[in-house]
Structure 1
């Protein structure tokens, strides 16, 4: 599978140079392609974006109003699609940071090509008041991509994006924007609002719970936003978040027969977790399991995995089975040692089991 960084390729640079040279006859296409493509293969994605943007800074018109016109000509001709828009966004964020009057509308024109959610964060940091004024206007923009930019661009902890410390400290200005988007007709926009709400929950759970209560009671399309926006709090077993979504943290539910098919496995192996739940009365249940991975210096905090959301009938046994592989992934190493597994229902741990994970080179204990 190709790496994302390889999308920012020499071919993309040549196509971008071609489009710009057509839009502006004085564009130094050769110089741009040379600077943008220098040692490209050795650069990661962010560095490639920055290098291409730096080449644009050196090659585009010094008059920013003219530069704005050049980019808009390319857009009108169908250029700067997909990945090609990302270094252009970065160029706008660097070259036009002092001109939010042209830089922000240009990002709104660019964001439907892919997304300007990373570039606009520079304007939020350096040009807060004019940017917020523009964002407040964009919540009613006819283009769903621009409305999504309002939510995604202000997320305090956007993956791969710079953190917005002002909104980590005080999310209320951004939350005011979300209030206008929670009932947006576009699921694309509402999904962003939910992710933004989940970001806020990591620092200000009380703020999120208050908003979620209000949206759940009054919004017309906010059920999706509330459900997905509370997911971190649900995984933590927050009783108020569970109650908002209709889960009773105190519901009498018992677990029986909890076992792992292979209580001792090598790194990379898998075990099957099986158990039965029985509720005393009909109960809506969110069922997770939690794995406490071994770290280099002992067990880590639990990693929650979603298993099911079910209506448990009164007095009836309901069985659950889930395979779990202890294989390394990009964000997690697997260390040998005992790994505690907990079954969590409506935020409460009902049962525990332990799987011993050992290095593949070790003798398999099951052979003895």
Structure 2
């Protein structure tokens, strides 16, 4: 599988150069392309984006308001894919801060081609009130990309993005989310759910109060609430579970748990099997929790979603899941004992241990 960074390449640079040249014939396309492509090979994705953005800064007309106008006219005339347009948003993030109105106008034009969620962060830091006013305008815009940007760009824990101290206070962005939680577009609602999930990690009580308000409205908010509370559900938070219709203390039992094989190499797979039975009818959120061995002792447990089930009284439900123990980009595995627990409605009801061996 190709690495994402390889999408920032000679072809993506050429597409951007050609698009700018169509609206601004004086743009030195060949010089820009040569500068943008120089030294890309060893660089990571965001480093490549920065190099191309720097080449834009060296070749677009100046001052920034003129460059911003050229970029707006470019995307109005020629649709760009994400890989061609992303460096343009990065250029605005770095070089437009002295001209917030022109910069925000430019980001609003670019975001439907390559999301400006990263590029908006410096403006929230440097021009907070000005930028928040613009986000509220975008939250009412007919363009779903702008509505999503209002939520996604202001997420307190947006992955890959710089942290903005202003956004640590959830009251700054909840009024935005209130406008968007029942948006007609799933694309926007997913961002709202992820934003509220961010808030649950630092301000769970505020997030739960907001979720309760939204849940009472019905419509598309029901999915948003369920997705937004996923981290609290995995933690077994009783109030989050109750809001979603799960009883933390439900009479549910796990029996016959097996995790096989009991010993396997890194890269191997286990089969988790057990029986779930409720003494009375119950709605069950079923997860399994893996306690990984670390280089210096056990790591924090990782919760994996297994299933949800409506259990009839006394009727057993057989559940099976396979889990592969393999390295991923954010977690390298280590040999040693690993424990797998079965968690139902936030309570651990059974567990078993396996041994992971070095080598794949």
TM-score, with structure 2 as normaliser: 0.97
SS of the equivalent of 2:202 reads: coil
Instruction: State the match for 1:299 in structure 2.
Output: 298
Number of aligned positions between the proteins:
360
- The separation in 2 between residues aligned to 1:40 and 1:10, in whole angstroms, is 9
Q: Does 2:4 match 1:4? A: yes
- The separation in 2 between residues aligned to 1:43 and 1:78, in whole angstroms, is 28
* CA contact 2:247–2:283 (8 Å) conserved in 1: yes
Instruction: State the match for 1:354 in structure 2.
Output: 353
Q: Does 2:295 match 1:308? A: no
* CA contact 2:336–2:357 (8 Å) conserved in 1: yes
Instruction: State the match for 1:235 in structure 2.
Output: 234
1:71 Cα shift? 1.4
Q: Does 2:76 match 1:72? A: no
Instruction: State the match for 1:101 in structure 2.
Output: 101
Q: Which runs of 5+ in 2 are unaligned?
A: none
TM-score, with structure 1 as normaliser: 0.95
Instruction: State the match for 2:333 in structure 1.
Output: 334
* CA contact 1:292–1:303 (8 Å) conserved in 2: yes
Instruction: State the match for 1:162 in structure 2.
Output: 162
* CA contact 1:155–1:164 (8 Å) conserved in 2: no
Instruction: State the match for 1:325 in structure 2.
Output: 324
Q: Does 2:213 match 1:214? A: yes
Instruction: State the match for 2:258 in structure 1.
Output: 259
RMSD: 1.3
1:68 Cα shift? 2.5
- The separation in 2 between residues aligned to 1:35 and 1:92, in whole angstroms, is 18
Instruction: State the match for 2:127 in structure 1.
Output: 127
* CA contact 1:266–1:360 (8 Å) conserved in 2: yes
1:350 Cα shift? 0.3
Q: How does 1:57-68 map to 2 (within 5 A)?
A: 57-68=57-68
- The separation in 1 between residues aligned to 2:56 and 2:324, in whole angstroms, is 46
SS of the equivalent of 1:118 reads: coil
Instruction: State the match for 1:31 in structure 2.
Output: 31
For each residue in 1:21-76, what CA deviation from the matched residue of structure 2 results, as whole angstroms up to 9, or x when unmatched? Answer: 23223222233122211111111111111111111111111133322321122112
* CA contact 2:16–2:85 (8 Å) conserved in 1: no
1:15 Cα shift? 2.3
SS of the equivalent of 1:178 reads: helix
* CA contact 1:64–1:96 (8 Å) conserved in 2: yes
SS of the equivalent of 1:356 reads: strand
Instruction: State the match for 1:197 in structure 2.
Output: 196
For each residue in 1:290-324, what CA deviation from the matched residue of structure 2 results, as whole angstroms up to 9, or x when unmatched? Answer: 00000001111211011100001111111111111
Q: Which runs of 5+ in 1 are unaligned?
A: 362-368
